[in-house]
Amino acid sequence: MTEQTPPTDYLDRIPPHLVSAGDYEQEARQRLSDPVWAQIAGGAGDEITLRKNRTAFDTLEIIPRMLADFRHADTGVNLFGRRHKFPLLIAPIAHQQLLYPDGELATLAAANALETTFIASTLASTPLETIAAESTAPCWFQLYFQPQREQTLDLLQRAEAAGYEAIVVTLDAPISGLRNRVQRSGFALPAHIPTPNTTGYEPPAPRSLAPGSSVILNGFMADAPRWEDLQWLREQCKLPLLAKGVISPADAEQCKAIGLDGIIVSNHGGRTLDGLPATIDALPEIRAAVGHDLPLLLDSGIRRGTDIFKALALGADAVLLGRPYLYALATAGALGVAHLLRILHEELEIAMALSGRPDIQSIQPDAVKRR
């Protein structure tokens, strides 16, 4: 395939060979064009961080305990006044109509069926109001700072009015990373893929640069968000506000000092700056920095229920699922995403059962060790 269009032969039933997130990844690779595959699966630079997000999980071993009491076993977690049946949320990812005609609405249908929180992207192919109206599961909204505060405030107020339960502001992508695999593939977002949430927003006026100035450092980054912008957003936001893209314990402490309600430990799936630590490696230091009263979530690298288990053991309250659900979406639409969510639910339950951890609170640091 060379066209940058979604596949057309989606499965309407799940065949026996699809039993893991890895199986869906292999299936999607056969269905997607090379440019779209590069856009979805690729990372920044030499993809060191992309690989590390996975391999770091493999260095953690689970330490089982025997004869635990499972009479009141439970996978539920409390986040911002809402009881979640399972510590897994759907990460915000842009342009899902690249993979399935209904895009985010198909992913949302699966989230509704599995009662899983869906986080809608600013760059969704579907209007944020439509997503909220179609949701029966909890919905959060992921916010990118816009060039003008009035535009950012407009997005925030639209999300609040639509009924979203939390706002996730992404901090780690003020500019795009250099994704060499994507560059080599020739990918360009097709004209038919909409970005309705930002339609009508005026682009910023070009910045006048002195001779010899850097377009990146003195141009784009001169207008990038700063801590005072995050403080301003905290003052404007009526909902729980989480910062996504935090890797540094010092930044985590600053987010807490500003009054943010939670942090998502993330390196953007290895898609921004190559050479960052794996999120599972960064997690323990961030938990130590902010204490135990601030909700921490983690994304990047989750592929198995045992990965969820390991993240919970090292300090996460829940995790976000990214690329794997895109592979399931490209394979079988809402059916595929729902099946994948069910697989991960069962994998975590089996990990808890065989490790002697009957509830999320019992998955403590002594449940894992570094190999």
Which residue carries 């968000």 as its tokens? 225
Which residue carries 């994507």 as its tokens? 182
2 C-beta neighbours (distance < 10 Å), count: 8
Strands (E), the chain: 60-62, 77-79, 82-84, 88-90, 118-120, 139-143, 167-170, 241-246, 262-265, 296-298, 318-321, 368-370
Return the active site residues.
268
157 C-beta neighbours (distance < 10 Å), count: 13
Which residue carries 């995403």 as its tokens? 337
Backbone CA torsion sign across 145, 149, 153, 154: negative
Q: Which residues neighbour 208 within 8 Å (Cβ) at sequence distance 6 or greater? A: none
Q: Which residues neighbour 174 within 8 Å (Cβ) at sequence distance 6 or greater? A: 145, 220, 221, 224, 225
Dist CA 179 CA 53 (whole Å)? 16
Ramachandran bin of 143, using left for φ above 0, alpha for ψ from -120 to 50, beta for the remaining angles: beta
